[in-house]
Amino acid sequence: MSKTRNTETDFTTKKIVIMSIALLLFCAIVSILFTANADENRAAQFIRGRFEPKAKAQDGMLEIEGVDAIGEVPEGEIRYYINKEPIFPSGYERGDVLLQNPDSSMYSLQFRFYLADGSSSAPVYTSALLRPGQYIDGDKLDRYLPPGSYACTYTATAYDLTDETVVCGSTSGLVTLTVIC
């Protein structure tokens, strides 16, 4: 009677070494996340930012202190709320982006921020698509920006509610992004 070995379930030296290295890497990442000061450690900022997902549109309307609610939006117009001076704790982490599409809007809206100095044509931020009555309260940038203040242009693109691939128009303006560290 011969015994056959199932090599897929055997713990070989190679498997033990690989599992040990993976466990050590996991422990190192957890250690950085819980012990590093984010203001001084870019590696900790990077790791926290990678685990933080992009914001999704949320249903409802935010009450913004000192700002009147948008009532009826005239046909063919785009109206919205935007925080024109969002601040980010680091170039990797979530900042206080605030975007809101009012209930009475006839369009879905998407926002993109671009560096105004023209150094890149790629957006530094792209929002989720906001249907009427949705908002985003806090999001992270699409790419890393070093500490500083950045003059940016933004575009708000309106899409048809029944076919959100059809662009109905857009408008633009200025925002200033600030990255603290």
Q: Please provide the average confidence, as pLDDT, over all residues in the chain.
A: 84
Asked whether residue 92 falls in the same domain as residue 135, the answer is: yes
pLDDT at 73 over 90: no
Cut 0.75: pTM above it: no
Asked whether residue 86 falls in the same domain as residue 158, the answer is: yes
Asked whether residue 42 falls in the same domain as residue 111, the answer is: no
Using alpha carbons, list the distances in angstroms from residue 168 to 11, 53, 72, 79: 60, 29, 19, 13
The domain tally of the chain equals 2
Asked whether residue 27 falls in the same domain as residue 97, the answer is: no
3 state DSSP class of 109: strand
Asked whether residue 94 falls in the same domain as residue 150, the answer is: yes
Q: Which residues of 159-177 are buried (b: 16+ CB within 10 A; e: fewer)?
A: beeeeeeeeeeeeeeebeb
Asked whether residue 150 falls in the same domain as residue 100, the answer is: yes
CATH at 134: 2.60.40.2550
Asked whether residue 41 falls in the same domain as residue 76, the answer is: no
Give the tens place of pLDDT for each residue, 8-62. 556 688 888 888 898 888 877 766 655 555 455 666 655 655 556 778 888 888 8
Percent of the chain with pLDDT over 90: 51
Asked whether residue 173 falls in the same domain as residue 93, the answer is: yes
Q: Note whether residue 3 is domain-resident.
A: no
Asked whether residue 40 falls in the same domain as residue 69, the answer is: no
Give the tens place of pLDDT for each residue, 127-165. 999 999 999 999 999 999 999 999 999 999 999 999 999
128, 160 Cβ separation under 8 angstroms: no
- What residue numbers bound the domain in which 145 lies? 55-179
Taking the C-alpha atoms of residue 58 and residue 63, their distance in angstroms, rounded to an integer, is 14
pLDDT of the residue at 127: 96
